Amino acid sequence: MSGALLTVQDLSVGFLTEQGLVRAVEGVSFVLEPGQTLGVVGESGSGKSVTAKALMNLLPSYSQISGNVNFGNRDLFSMAASREKHFWGVEMAMVFQDPMTSLNPVKKVGEQIAESLRVHLNRNRHQALAEAGDLLEQVGIPEPGKRLTQYPHELSGGLRQRVVIAIALACGPRLLIADEPTTALDVTVQKHILDLLDELRRDRGMAMILITHDLGVVKGRTDEVMVMYAGHTVEKSPTGTLFAEMRHPYTEALLETIPRIDTPKHSRLIPIPGRPPEVIEVLPGCAYAPRCRYSIKSCLNEQPGLKSHSAGHHCACHAPVGTPSGMEARAANEAAGITVAGLDMSQFSGIEDKAEEKRSGGED
Amino acid sequence: MAGSGTAHLRGRDDVILRVQNLVMEFPTGRHQVVHAVSNLSFDIRRGETLGIVGESGCGKSTTARAVVQLPPPISGQVTLSPETEDAVELTALEGERLRQVRPRIQMIFQDPISSLNPRRVVHDIVEEGLHIWPERLQGQDIQAKVDEVLESVGIDSVVATNRRPHEFSGGQCQRISIARAVVLEPEILICDEPVSALDVSIQAQILDLLQEMKDRYGLTLIFISHDLAVVRNVSDRVIVMYLGKVCEVGDADALYSAPAHPYTRVLLASAPEPAKNVSGVEAAIGDEIPSPLAPPSGCRFRTRCPRAEIRCAEEEPVISAIEDDHFVACHFPILNGKQRE
C-alpha cells in the first residue's frame, strides 16, 4: 500500500434531481499501483464514468461527493485551489469516448496539443509546437508536421483519438484515465488504439484506468478488473483470476450473454433478463437480485458487502458462483422454477450445458 | 476488395431478393463523386439471415437503403422473388407502383429512440402502417393485430396505449421498432445495426427476439453490423464488405472458420478477443481507409493488404468459389485456414 499511486476509499457520488437522489456511485474503493492497469467494466448507468469524472474533478458543483481519494500523498478532495490548476491535466489526464466531440473544431490540432504545454509547463509557443510534433509522432501519427496545422475535421476518427491521447500525454501524467476510448471506433482501429495505449503506458511507466463495457477489451490488457453494477463494485479481481473463476453472477451473465467470434452460428445466447435498475430506487438488498439466477432470501433485504475469495479477489454476493452456497442457491431456484425475487427460471432451461461448454471453450 | 462478379449468386426458386451490380454514388461539391457502393451483387433465400459486416464507410447501410430505394441506386437491379412469375424489379418502379411493394420490405434502425416519433403514443406508432394500408385489415382487426404484435415483442399493449417512446428504455424502444416493422407482415426485414446502441445485457434479448420473430412471421433478415461475433451468431450467410465492394461471401461458419480474404482475417484478428484461427500479426495494417472519392485501382483493399502485389493494382479480382457456398474476391486468397483451426 505504501507505494500506491492512487487510493480510492469509499467513494460515493450522488446527484439531487427532481425525482430524488440519484446514487450514481456507492462506496467504491480501489488501489492502483504505479504502472498498473485497472479495467472498470459495466453497462451504461453503472457509475463507471462518474467514478472517472470524480477522480478528474469534472463533476458539476451540485454533485454530492464523499469518500477519500489520495494521489501519492495528496488528498484530492481537499486540495487547495491554487494547486489544482497544475494537477489535473498534468499528473492525471483523461481520454474520452468520442474523439469527434472532445476536440475543438475551430482550432488547429497543433495548437490544441501545445495549449496544455504552454499553460502547465510554461513552454513558449515555438517550443510547445515542437513538442506537440514529437507527441504526434509518439502516438503513431504519420507526417506529424503536416497534421499540426490541420483541423480536427480533416482527420479520421482513429487519428483524432490519437490526437486526444497526445493531448492527454502532453504533460507526462502518472495516471491516464481512458473512458471507453475505442467505443466509437471500428474494430481495426480499436485494436491499434488499445495497443498504442498499452505501449505508451509501458514506455512511460504510467498507470492507467481503462473503462469499458466490453469484457473482451479488458481481458489480456489489464492487471486488475473491477466490475460495476448500479453504482456498486460487485467484483474486483486480478484479471486472470476473474476470467478463470468468476464469482459474481452478474460477471458470469455478462460473459455468457455476449456472442463469441468462435462459437458456431445460431448458438443460443443466454440473455440477462430485465434491465439495469434506476439508481434512484434504493433497494434494501442486492441491486442485481431481480435479474439473478442465484438469488436467495437474504439478497432481497441485505446488501452484500465485498468479501475476499482469494488473494485480491473480492466479490459482493451472498451466493457466489462456483461456491457451495451459490450452487445450492441456483439448484434450489431451478427446482422451484422461480427465484425468491420472482425471476422465472424457465427461460434458462436447456441452456445449461451450452453455458458450461461456452465457458470451458472461453478459457485459454 | 475487390470484387466484382456474380459467381456467388444462386439461381434457385427460393431466392427472395436478388441484388445485381448495384452502384450507389453521391456527388460532392467539387465535381467529385463518393463511390459508396460499386458493382455489388448478392442474393438471399427465403427464411435466410444474411449478415453484412464491414468497417464504417464500407457501404453496408447504403446498400440496405438502396434495396428499399431510399434513394434508388444509380444503376443495378434489385429484384424480389426473381425466379418466380411474380418477380418484381424494384428499380424499374416509380410512384404508386413502388409504394405498393414497400410493405414487403421493412427496416429497423440503429438508434431505437430517435427512430420513433417522440410525440406519438407507442400504440399509434405501431398501428400507423395498418392505416396506410386499409385494404389489409379494418376496425377491430387492426386493434387485434397491433395487440398481438406488441405482445409478441414483449410490450404490454395496455401500457403502449398511453405512453410515448421516452417513457421506455432503449431496449424496449427497439422492441417497439421491431413491432412497427413486423405489423405489416413484411417478407424481408432489414436490420441496420439493431443492437449497436444497446447495453450488452440487453443485446442478447433483442437478438433472441429477432430470431423468434423470424420463426413466428416467416421473415427473411438482412442483418447489418460491425460486430463480427454478433453477425456470426445471427447469420446463415455472411458478406464481408470493404469500400463498397464484396470481399468474401459464404456460409457463416465456413467463412469464420476458414477466412480466405486477407481483409476478413484482419477483421477477425482485430476483435477484442481475436478468433483463434488467425494470428494477431494479421491485424497489423494501416488504420486509414482510403477515400471513397478516389478508391484505389484494382483491388480496393490493396493499399492496406499485407499480401498485395503488382497484379492487385492492375486487375480487379473477380469473385470465385473456393469451396461449397464460400466465395472470395482476391488474387491471393488464404486457402489453408481450415487446417489451422
DSSP string, A46-109: SSHHHHHHHHTT-S-TT-EEEEEEEETTEEGGG--HHHHTTTBTTTEEEE-S-TTTSS-TTS-H
Residue A235 placed within a domain? no
Residue A234 belongs to some domain of the structure: no
Strongest mean pLDDT among A44-58, A337-351, B324-338: A44-58
Question: Given an 8 Å threshold on Cβ–Cβ distance, is A254 in contact with B202?
Answer: no
Which amino acid makes up residue A193? I
Give the pLDDT score at A53: 92
| Residue B323 to residue A37: CA distance in whole angstroms | 45
Domain limits, chain B: 15-115+188-194+218-340
At residue B337, φ and ψ (nearest 5 deg) are: -50, -35
What residues of chain A lie within 8 A of the CB of B274, using their CB?
Answer: 261
- Closest-CA residue of B relative to A252 is B201
State residue A30's pLDDT score: 95
Q: Say what the pLDDT of residue A2 is.
A: 53
- Residues of chain B found within 8 Å of residue A272, distances taken between Cβ atoms: 201-202, 204-205
Question: Is the bond into B274 cis (omega within 30 degrees of 0)?
Answer: no
For residues A148-161, average pLDDT: 90
Q: Are residues A74 and A153 in the same domain?
A: yes
Phi, psi for A156 (deg, rounded to 5): -75, 170
**What residues of A are in contact with residue B267 (Cβ under 8 Å)?**
187-188
Report yes or no: B154 at the A interface, CB cutoff 8 Å: no
pLDDT 10s digit of each residue in chain B, 341 long?
456 778 888 877 889 999 999 999 999 888 889 999 999 999 999 999 999 999 888 999 999 999 999 889 999 999 999 888 888 999 999 899 999 999 999 999 988 888 999 999 999 999 999 999 888 888 888 999 999 999 999 998 888 888 999 988 888 999 999 999 999 999 999 999 999 888 888 899 999 999 999 999 999 999 999 999 999 999 999 999 999 999 999 999 999 999 999 999 999 988 888 777 887 677 666 667 888 888 999 999 998 888 889 999 999 999 999 988 999 999 999 886 443 33
To the nearest whole Å, the CA of B135 is away from the closest chain A CA by 37
Total number of domains in chain A:
2
State mean pLDDT over A143-156: 91
Q: Reply yes or no on whether the pLDDT at A353 is more than 80.
A: no
Contacts of A190 in chain B (CB under 8 A): 270, 272
Between helices A157-169 and A109-121, what is the axis angle to 10°? Answer: 10
Answer yes or no: is pLDDT of A304 > 60: yes
Q: Does B270 touch chain A (CB under 8 A)?
A: yes
The pLDDT assigned to B332 comes to 92
> Among partner residues A188, A213, A263, which is closest to B287 by beta-carbon distance?
A188
Query: Residue A188: what pLDDT?
Result: 84
A196 and A316 part of one domain: no
Pairwise CA distance, residues B41 & B34, whole Å: 19
- Both A275 and A223 in one domain: the answer is no
What pLDDT score does B124 carry? Answer: 93
* Mean pLDDT confidence for A172-187: 90
Band of pLDDT at residue A105, cut at 50, 70 and 90? very high
Asked whether residue A80 falls in the same domain as residue A165, the answer is: yes
Contacts of B48 in chain A (CB under 8 A): none
The pLDDT > 90 percentage for chain A reads: 57
**A219 shares a domain with A260:** no
Q: How far, CA to CA in Å, does B310 sit from each of A164, A205, B263, B314, B318?
A: 37, 43, 18, 7, 16
| Order of strands across the sheet that contains B105-108 | B105-108, B188-192, B220-225, B49-53, B237-242, B245-251, B326-328, B320-323
The one-letter code for the residue type at A31 is: V
A267 and A203, same structural domain? no
- The number of angstroms, rounded, from the C-alpha of A338 to the middle of its chain's C-alpha atoms is 33
**A156 and A272 together in one domain:** no
CA distance B246 to chain A (A): 18
A236 found inside a domain: no
Query: Of A227, A261, A288, which residue is a domain's last?
Result: A227
Predicted TM-score (pTM) of the model is 0.86
Same domain, A251 and A223: no
Same-domain check for residues A301 and A171: no
Q: Grid coordinates 500523498 are at which residue? A: A73
A101 and A188 within one domain: yes
For domain B15-115+188-194+218-340, give its CATH number from 3.20.190.10, 2.30.31.70, 2.160.10.10, 3.40.50.300.
Answer: 3.40.50.300
pLDDT in tens, A59-91: 988 899 999 999 988 888 887 666 777 888 899
Reduce the DSSP state of residue A29 to 3 states and report it.
strand
Range of A47's domain? 6-227
Is residue A326, in this structure, part of any structural domain at all? yes
pLDDT 10s digits, A198-257: 999 999 999 999 999 888 899 889 999 999 999 999 999 999 999 999 999 999 999 888
In B, minimum Cα distance to A157 occurs at: B288
Q: Which segments within B124-267 are labelled E, that is strand? A: 188-192, 220-225, 237-242, 245-251
Nearest-5° Cα angle at B81, B12 to B52 = 80
**pLDDT of amino acid A151:** 94
Residue A141 burial by Cβ neighbours in a 10 Å radius (0-12, 13-18, 19+): buried
Question: A227, A259, A286 — which closes off a domain?
Answer: A227
Dihedral sign for Cα B83, B89, B90, B94, please: negative
Name the domain boundary from A193, A227, A261. Answer: A227
A223 and A250 belong to one structural domain:
no
Q: Between β-strands B49-53 and B75-80, what pairing exists: parallel, antiparallel or unpaired? A: unpaired
Mean pLDDT of A319-330: 92
CATH of residue A160's domain is: 3.40.50.300
Asked casually if ipTM beats, i.e. exceeds, 0.90, the reply is no
Of the partner residues B226, B275, B285, the one whose CB lies closest to the CB of residue A261: B275
Task: Give yes or no: residues A204 and A298 share one domain.
Answer: no
pLDDT at A358: 44
Mean pLDDT of A133-154: 91
Contact criterion met (CB below 8 Å) for A233 and A316: yes
- In single-letter form, the type of residue at position A236 comes to K
